[in-house]
Amino acid sequence: MSIASPPVPAPAADPGTTPDIEALQRHFDDTIAAEHRIEPRDWMPDGYRRTLVRQIAQHAHSEIIGMQPEGDWLLSAPSLRRKAILLAKVQDEAGHGLYLYSAAETLGADRADLTDKLIEGRQKYSSIFNYPTLSYADVGVIGWLVDGAAICNQVPLCRSSYGPYARAMIRICKEESFHQRQGYELLLTMMRGTDEQRAMVQDAVDRWWWPSLMMFGPPDAESPNTAQSMAWGIKRHTNDELRQRYVDMTVPQAEFLGVTLPDPELSLDPETGRHRFGAIDWSELKRVISGEGAMNRLRLARRRAARDDNAWVTEAATAYAEKHAAEKRA
Ligand SMILES: [Fe+2]
Ligand SMILES: [Fe+2]
């Protein structure tokens, strides 16, 4: 896997002359074709930049909003050990958001502007975080299924053509595998507990299974941006390919855990070695994305309050940074 910058420098225009766009485009195409990385200093087509900003911002927002469903259980975790694990996990998600906002900034995006767009509903975040966490078993199931789906989605992004995004994803994926393991370990513990605990786990699996399948996005036939994103090396696999990989990975884990995935049509195809699964209710995804999920309003209201109530911290930190920069210049 190469995540190095292109070895051949981009054709530079002499100052005062018009850049040769065709030569720059050729160099960009060659860089992508050679599986080298595009770096912030490189010329890139506007559409590539726009697509990346949209995708990275949506990803960053998902990490930050994704702190809320599990964060709701921080004060009710059943032991000090569970609380420490959950706290570390939720803090990791904050860190993921920060890496990704930094990656978006290398493309010229402004972090405060991205936050405003999120709060005003002009940019999206993963619809999975608009479901409520009704029991402590949800913490385990989110780690297992939601972080598990995130890993399937994100491991190929470590080879994304944009350098800062690919490098952020390498770090994020290492932490996501810890998240998935802590969730699975929590569920194994509950499944070895009482009947009531086992019922809690099964109930949580019943509620999160289908939304986790929707995390891969609409079916390929209805995903108009996929082809261009794959041609640009931003995306490496289609939504349906990743969803299939996730199902194949998760079914044996469910069997080992002793839970039933809520899909009567789930079966192993002996010829392909892959699992067939039932039809996904896409109207639910559309409804939740358009703001009608159980938690959409609360998630954004909290994010808005975090921005507004803590504005003084941002102001103080900005003033401090400016003062030190001025001292350095002097
Ligand atoms: Fe994350
Ligand atoms: Fe995570």
pLDDT tens digits along 35-75: 999 999 999 999 999 999 999 999 999 999 999 999 999 99
Ligand 1 center–CA 172 separation, angstroms: 6
DSSP collapsed to 3 states, 49-82: HHHHHHHHHHHHHHHHHCHHHHHCCHHHCCCHHH
Ligand 2 center–CA 91 separation, angstroms: 10
Tell me which ligand sits closest to the C-alpha of residue 139. Answer: 2
Say which amino acid occupies 51.
T
- Residue-range domain boundaries for the chain: 26-308
Give the homologous superfamily in CATH for domain 26-308.
Answer: Ferritin, core subunit, four-helix bundle (1.20.1260.10)
The DSSP call for residue 259 is -
Ligand 2 center–CA 60 separation, angstroms: 12
Tell me which ligand sits closest to the C-alpha of residue 60. Answer: 1
Ligand 2 center–CA 239 separation, angstroms: 19
* Number of C-beta neighbours around residue 276 at 10 A: 13
Ligand 1 center–CA 8 separation, angstroms: 34
Ligand 1 center–CA 267 separation, angstroms: 30
Ligand 1 center–CA 96 separation, angstroms: 5
User: Which burial class, exposed, middle or buried, applies to 187 when counting CB atoms under 10 A from its CB (0-12, 13-18, 19+)?
Assistant: buried
User: Which burial class, exposed, middle or buried, applies to 262 when counting CB atoms under 10 A from its CB (0-12, 13-18, 19+)?
Assistant: middle
* CB-proximal residues (5 Å) to ion ligand 2: 147, 176, 179
Tell me which ligand sits closest to the C-alpha of residue 179. Answer: 2
Residues in the chain: 330
User: Rounded mean pLDDT of 192-201?
Assistant: 98
Tens digit of pLDDT for each residue in 252-311? 999 999 999 999 999 999 999 999 999 999 999 999 988 899 999 999 999 999 999 999
Ligand 2 center–CA 23 separation, angstroms: 41
Any alpha helices (H) in 66-193, and if so which ranges? 67-71, 80-105, 111-119, 137-141, 147-154, 163-191
Tens digit of pLDDT for each residue in 66-109? 999 999 999 999 999 999 999 999 999 999 999 999 999 999 99
Res. 236 pLDDT band, cuts 50 70 90: confident
Ligand 2 center–CA 95 separation, angstroms: 10
Ligand 1 center–CA 304 separation, angstroms: 20
Tell me which ligand sits closest to the C-alpha of residue 63. Answer: 1
Distance CA 212, CA 204 (A): 12
Ligand 2 center–CA 224 separation, angstroms: 27
For the entire predicted model, the pTM comes to: 0.91
Tens digit of pLDDT for each residue in 198-219? 999 999 999 999 999 999 999 9
